[in-house]
Amino acid sequence: MTEAVGLTGLQLAILQVLWDRGEATTQDVWEAVSEERPLALTTVATLLSRLERKHVVAHRQEGRQYVYRARVTRAEVRRSKIRELTDTLFGGDAAALVGHLVRADDVNAEELERIRALLEEAEARADA
């Protein structure tokens, strides 16, 4: 998988459009992203080109237009970004990350139960 480390918020927003639509032209991406952020069409085209150089997106040509698709999945990007966060803020210690999350004031009993179930599933996989 291509590392998603270093992707900006805007690049992630572009990927979100591609994940949601499957494929999209520069115009399609620009229209979707511009709802939240006023950007020039050329800016979106440049960002798509950069993402392609990083092997995060690919294109095919349809007439005179490029039609882009994501080459990475949401799950791959999440794993990469969480790995980056864990390495940067917690020295690579995943337990410290989880500890921080469960100690947060905004984690309710239902979320803690879901976390407990996920940990039990992970433990069962590790034992198998």
Q: pLDDT tens digits, the chain, 128 residues: what are they?
A: 445 557 899 999 999 999 999 999 999 999 999 988 899 999 999 999 999 999 999 999 999 999 999 999 999 999 998 998 999 999 999 999 988 888 877 888 898 899 889 999 999 999 98
Q: Hey, which residues does 69 pair with through a beta bridge?
A: 58
**DSSP type of residue 73:** -
Distance of alpha carbon 26 from alpha carbon 66, whole angstroms? 7
Taking residue 95's Cβ as centre, other Cβ atoms within 10 Å add up to: 9
Pick the CATH number of 9-70 from 3.60.150.10, 1.10.10.10, 3.40.109.10, 1.10.3720.10: 1.10.10.10
> What's the pTM?
0.79
The token duo for 128 is 């198998």
Distance of alpha carbon 83 from alpha carbon 81, whole angstroms? 5
**DSSP type of residue 22:** S
